[in-house]
Every structure is written in structure tokens, then in C-alpha cells.
Amino acid sequence: MRMAPTPTALAAFEEAKGFMPLDEGLALHAAAEHAAAELGGLPLLEVGTYCGRSTILLADAARAAGTSVVTVDHHRGSEEQQPGWEYHDASLVDPEVGRMDTLPAFRRTLHRAGLEEHVIAVVGRSPRIAALWHAPLALVFVDGGHTDEHATADYEGWTPHLAEGGLLVIHDVFPDPADGGQAPYRIYRRALESGEFTEVSVTRSLRVLRRTGVRR
């Protein structure tokens, strides 16, 4: 039976800084819950922690299935979050270092949500972490850098670890360039064209794909 996030998790999600609207968040939660339950408690992997908004929902689903979320971020912000860019938040700059640091906000968010013990935060560049990774995953959520370089590296680095039947979730998929950048859309197309994935659901810019085919 599908469950909604707990009221505490939902309240923490709505309070957290971040870029995930509620309807997409609920679709992410449903995918996470399904993948964790179906795949015998394999871990869930997120690229793009930021301040932990989407991590809360993944962690809530992981807790219900007795598994963990691994969330990856260098915590220095994406290109569009740097000073002078559209999504910059000056309150997230470390005054001593003079650079973005979303790790303290992320830790506070998870603590408030009571979900710390269900999350393993890995601080570093996604492709370097993926290169060291060996465990099978129930779900891969791609919401890191939105340039072609980063999105492609995330796709190539993490999808090989997705178990058969596991879910690939991609955020900010915009078929029309007028709605947003095209890099997430291109990896979404690439996944479908590979023959290894079939589409499960579409919730605005959030796409859920199931890994059904064998790797070529």
C-alpha cells in the first residue's frame, strides 16, 4: 500500500530551502517507497543534496523500508547558484571561506526532520564518488549539476549501479527549451533510447523510469 510522507517529514520538507515543489516531491516519495520496498531494502542514491529538501522525502521512504539514502553533493552550489546568478542565496555563503556551503543548512534540516540516522551524506564531486561506488542501488535520483557535462557524468556514473527493476528519477526535464535547460532532458532521452529503461510516471518536470533492460 502506498503511504504519504509522515506529517513531520512533510512539514520539514515544506520548511526546507530547496527546489522541489510539493507535487514533484510526492512523486519522488512514491518512487522511493516503491523502489525500496520492491528491491529488498537496497539503498537509495541522490545526486544534489543542496539543503536537504528532497533528501527528507527519500529518507522518509527509506526509513519505512529499513534502508538508507546516500546523498552526494560538494555543497559549493551549482553554476546557477553562484553570486550574481538567478538561484543565488547569499545566506548560504560561508563568510570565512567566501564560498557557498550548503552543508550546515542540510544538517540542520535533517536534524529537525528527525531523519539523520537514515541518511549517509557524501561530500564531494559526483563523478569521483561514482567511480569508487560498487553497491547495487534501488533508486538513483539525478538532481545535481544541470550542465551537459554534469548531467551526463551523473547518468554515466550512477546508472550502471541501478539494480534491475530499480528506478531512475530525473528532475528538471523540460522538453521545451523555453521552459528550462536541456541537459536533464537529454539524459532522459538517452535513457529511453538505450532500451534499458521504460517510463513509469511524469509529474511536471520529474520523470520516473524503471530499469527493465540489460546493459549493452
Ligand X SMILES: C[S@@+](CC[C@H](N)C(=O)[O-])C[C@H]1O[C@@H](n2cnc3c(N)ncnc32)[C@H](O)[C@@H]1O
Q: Which residues are catalytic?
A: 146
The rounded distance, in Å, linking the Cα atoms of 189 and 134 is: 25
In angstroms, how far is CA 161 from the centroid of its own chain? Answer: 15
182 contributes a contact to ligand X by CB under 6 A: no
Q: Cβ distance 160 to 196 under 8 Å?
A: no
6 C-beta neighbours (distance < 10 Å), count: 15
78 contributes a contact to ligand X by CB under 6 A: yes
Q: Cβ distance 33 to 65 under 8 Å?
A: yes
196 contributes a contact to ligand X by CB under 6 A: no
Q: Locate 195 and state its grid cell.
A: 532500451
# residues near ligand X by CB under 6 A: 21
What binding mask, one character per residue, do residues 124-153 give for ligand X by CB under 6 A, x or -?
-xx----------------xxx----x---
Q: Please pick, from the candidates 33, 39, 45, 50, the single residue that binds ligand X as defined by CB under 6 A.
A: 50
**Smallest distance, ligand X to C-beta of residue 150, A:** 5
18 contributes a contact to ligand X by CB under 6 A: yes
The rounded distance, in Å, linking the Cα atoms of 155 and 170 is: 10
Residues that bind ligand X in the complex, under the rule CB under 6 A: 18-20, 48, 50, 53-54, 72-78, 102, 125-126, 143-145, 150
